[in-house]
Amino acid sequence: MDTSLPWVAVVDDDDAVRRALLRLLRASGIAAQAYAGGADFLAALDGARPCCVVLDVHMPGLSGLEVQARLAAQAPEVGVIILTGHPTPAEQAQAQQHRPLAYLSKPVNDQLLLDTISLACGPAPASRTGAPRP
CATH architecture of 7-124: 3-Layer(aba) Sandwich (3.40)
> Rounded to an integer, what distance in angstroms lies between the CA atom of residue 126 and that of residue 79?
21
Q: In the 8-state DSSP scheme, what is residue 100?
A: -
- Inter-CA distances, 41 with 30, 31, 67, 133, Å: 18, 16, 9, 28
Q: Report how far residue 35's alpha carbon sits from residue 111's, in angstroms, rounded to the nearest whole number.
A: 22
Q: How many CB atoms lie within 10 A of CB 7?
A: 19
- For the chain, which residues make up each domain, given as ranges? 7-124
3-state secondary structure of 49: coil
Q: Are strands 31-35 and 7-11 parallel, antiparallel or unpaired?
A: parallel
The DSSP line for 1-46 is --TTS-EEEEE-S-HHHHHHHHHHHHHTT-EEEEESSHHHHHHH-S
Residues in the chain: 134
Per-residue model confidence as pLDDT tens for the chain (134 residues): 565 689 999 999 999 999 999 999 999 999 999 999 999 999 998 778 999 999 999 999 999 999 999 999 999 999 999 999 999 999 999 999 999 999 999 999 999 999 999 999 987 765 433 333 33
